[in-house]
Amino acid sequence: MVLTFFKEAYKILKDDRRAVLMVVTDHSGSSPGRKGFHMLASKNQMTGTIGGGIMEHKLVELSKSLLDHGRFDPFLKHQKHQSEASSNKSGMICSGEQTIAFFYLDSEDLNWIKEIDGRKELLITYNQSGVNLNEEFARDSEFTAGEKPGKWKLTVPVNLQSRVYVIGGGHVGLALCEILSTLDFEIHLLDHRPGLNTFVENPFAHFKKIVRYEEIDRHIPEGNHVYVVIISFGYRTDKVIARRLLGKQFRYIGMMGSVRKIEVLWRELLDEGHPQSDLDKIVAPIGLDIKSETTSEIGISIAAQLILYKNAKEGMRKRYG
C-alpha cells in the first residue's frame, strides 16, 4: 500500500510541482482513518486516503489553501468523530479519533520519493522536522509521543507487504488471485503441473512458478506477513504439501477440503508423528462459511478470511476463522 501510494504521489508531484502530504499518525476507536494511511493533495490531483467522508474533503481543501501561502513547517491536526465533541470535530459521527500530520512537498522532494521504489527494507520516519528515510527496519508502524510538547514520530516500513502463496493453479486459484489482485497482497502462484491453462493464463498473480510439491517449503518463506493457501488438485498432493509446511511459522495457513477429507488427512499425519499443535495451526476447511458453491464464491470466502487474519488481533483470529 505504501509503495503503491508513493508511485502515484511521484507522478502527481512531478506534474504539479507542489503538494501537501497527509499521514495519519495515530487513531483510536472506530476512526475511519488508520495509523499509516497516506494521502497527497495538489491543486489539481490527489491520491490515497486519510479516512474519507466530509473530514477528508475538508482537509483536502485545507491543503489546497495551505499551498496558496507557500512552504510551511510540519504540523499535526487532531480530529474527533463525534457530534458532541467540543473541539476538533471532523464532521463525522462514526466515533473514534485520529491525528493527521501535514507536510509541504515540492519538486525537491521527488528525489527521496523516487528512492523509495525498489528498496526492500526501508523505513520512513515522519516527525516535526519532516520526512526521513532510514535503512533500519521495523516490523510495524509505530507512533511515539514524546514528553516535550511538539515532539512526535511515526515510523512506517515501506515494503512490508502481505504476501500470499496460493498453492494450486486451478479454477479456484484463478478466481482467488483475481479477487486478491484488488487488495493489498503480493500474490505468488505455485503449481506442479507445467502447461496447466488456468495457471499459464492467470494474469492476476504477481509471480508464478512451477515447483515440486515435495520441495514446496523451499519456495515459501516463514514470516508474520506470509499467508499460505493450499488448494491443490487433490488429497494426495495436499498431504505432500502439508507434510512439508507443518511446524512452519506463518500469519495464516489454510487448506481446502471437506470436513471428512480433513479428518482422514489429520489422522494419517498424526499417525506419522506430527503433533496436534502443528495441525491446529492449519485452518481447514479453508475460508469463511458463507455457503460457497461457485469458484468465485470460494475465492471470496478465502479472501475474506485472509483479510480477517490480516486485520484482527492475535487472539481473535481463530474465533472468527
Q: pLDDT tens across 136-152, in order?
A: 655 555 555 544 567 88
- Point out which residues pair with 125 in neighbouring strands: 132, 155
Separation in Å, CA 98 to CA 27, 89, 92, 156, 162:
4, 11, 12, 17, 24
Q: Are 185 and 251 in contact (CB under 8 A)?
A: no
Q: pLDDT tens across 153-179, in order?
A: 998 877 666 899 999 999 999 999 999
Q: pLDDT tens across 186-218, in order?
A: 899 999 999 999 999 999 998 999 999 999 999
CA dist 281 and 246 (Å) reads: 8
Domain boundaries, the chain: 2-157, 162-320
- Distance from CA of residue 60 to its chain's centroid? 24
CA dist 219 and 211 (Å) reads: 8
How does strand 162-167 pair with strand 130-134?
A: unpaired
Cα maximum dimension of the chain: 73
Q: pLDDT tens across 269-308, in order?
A: 999 999 999 999 999 999 999 998 899 999 999 999 999 9
**Architecture of the domain delimited by 162-320:** 3-Layer(aba) Sandwich (3.40)
3-class secondary-structure state, position 188: strand
- 142: which residues sit within 8 A by CB, 6+ positions away? 153, 154, 155
